Amino acid sequence: MNTILVYTSPARGHLYPMMDIAIALKAEGHRVVIQTLSSERNWVIGEGLEFRPISAEIESLALEDYKATNPLNQIKSAFARWLERAPHEVDDLRDSCADIAPDLLIVDVNSWGASAFAEAERRPWAMFMPYCMPMPSPDTPAFGPGFPPPRGWMGRLRDHMFWAVLRVVMSGIVKQWDALRAGLGVPPLRSIENLFHRPDLLLYRTAEPFEYPRSVWPSNIQAIGPGLWAPPSDPPEWLDQLPHPRVLVSVSTEYQEDGAIVETALRSLKDESGSMIITTAALDPERFDVPHDRVRITRFLPHASVIPKMDLVITHGGMGTTQRALAAGIPVCVIPWGRDQNETARRAEICGAGIMIPRSKLSAERLRSAALEALTRKAAATKIADAFLKAGGASRAVELIEVLLEKTDSPRLAQYATEANYGAQIRKLGVKSA
């Protein structure tokens, strides 16, 4: 039996995508410890896994990127917060390793201190990524604003210039990050995307064609499809009484003041046939008026059991809700509000399974038109659902992790060579890396 420690950032949207893998590893006879939000203790233990809380200092450092006014500043705000958490994560994970003595660490991509500590251990380790990959590629747009994929030299120039600006904006944060890494004895990253080359295995929780197809992929990155675990719960009894088409409107579980999505949906769809269910999550449901009995508003509902009964999901573009809908073959209308949500929204549109409405263009008329159009995209959503299944999910992750557990030493020099080789490959294709 091997002991595996899964370390997450303080977000349910990062814990839940790893739960199916943790459960599958336990089923194969491994001891699995999850270090995560203190509030999630009962759910973790309820699945027969061991629980350990992340430090209170980390939990207290909540994201405030929703206060920023543009994608660059939102990214900078989030990165600054992750950097602020990093020293606490190093201490946190060091204590856990002393107590638990894990054979393998699986670390959240947003836990920068924890990943540096894992790399310093000089043993095989893995990372997991539950959102879109911010890595340069000749096939994909620059990450952040939700650009469409590049077409021709003008698109590549746009992306090259945005990456260049992003690196300048983030240079101070990267220097501080590299200083922390130096204190642990691991080489500098010099650019944020180099982080993704450093683990021996990166479990990427999506799959093509929702993710853009790429002509070049680092060999350690494995797209295995989304993690769809959710706390077990039954749908409300009244759900089956609501008429079709049924529309779920969902906003972020992490506060980002996205109530305008709910308000606009109420204005745009209240007179349409069918019904609407609204989950307000981080927002108080009492602030919204219910126009008639075909609209139900509540803070939380079990999305895992509710979404398959929907005809359309209107969402802020969180990766969890968006991929859960598509995995059920339900089309989406995405109104990205911040963080990585522009990228999620654009991918839903490009793969044909949804409609994207930029936050700046949100209106009742536009949302009504987009919702009616998205309802016609069922076939594309079903195609994505099939692709997610074929990616292998938790069973594929277990296969990859068990291969990694057989190693006794992390081929770190080989990883750096892979990183350099990837950079050389994409430079040949006209894209500048780090």
CATH number at residue 28: 3.40.50.2000
Model pLDDT, residue 420: 55
pLDDT digits (tens, 9 = 90+) for 130-142: 999 988 888 899 9
Residues 401 and 377 reside in one and the same domain: no
Categorize the per-residue pLDDT at 430 as very low, low, confident or very high, splitting at 50, 70 and 90.
Answer: very low
Q: Does residue 160 sit within a domain?
A: yes
305 and 410 within one domain:
no
Contact call for residues 252 and 316 (beta carbons, < 8 A): yes
230 within domain boundaries: no
Structural domain that includes position 335: 237-388
Domain assignment present for 319:
yes
433 occurs within a structural domain: no
User: What's the pLDDT tens digit per position in 67-97?
Assistant: 777 777 877 888 899 999 999 999 999 999 9
Based on the number of CB atoms within 10 Å of its own CB, is 240 exposed (0-12), middle (13-18) or buried (19 or more)?
exposed
- Three-state DSSP at 384 gives helix
- Compute φ and ψ for 249, nearest 5 degrees: -110, 120
Closest by alpha carbon to 248, among 212, 280, 292? 280
Confidence of residue 64 (pLDDT cuts 50, 70, 90): confident
Looking at the fold, whether 61 and 187 belong to one and the same domain comes out as yes
User: Do 172 and 62 lie in a common domain?
Assistant: yes
More confident residue, 408 or 315: 315
Q: What is the pTM of this model?
A: 0.90
Are 249 and 213 within one domain?
A: no
Is position 45 within any domain?
yes
- Whether residue 365 is contained in a domain is answered as yes
Q: How many domains does the chain have?
A: 2
Cβ-contact 106, 6 below 8 angstroms? yes
CA-CA distance, 331 to 352, in Å (whole number)? 9
CA distances (Å), 372 to each of 215, 375, 376, in order? 35, 5, 7
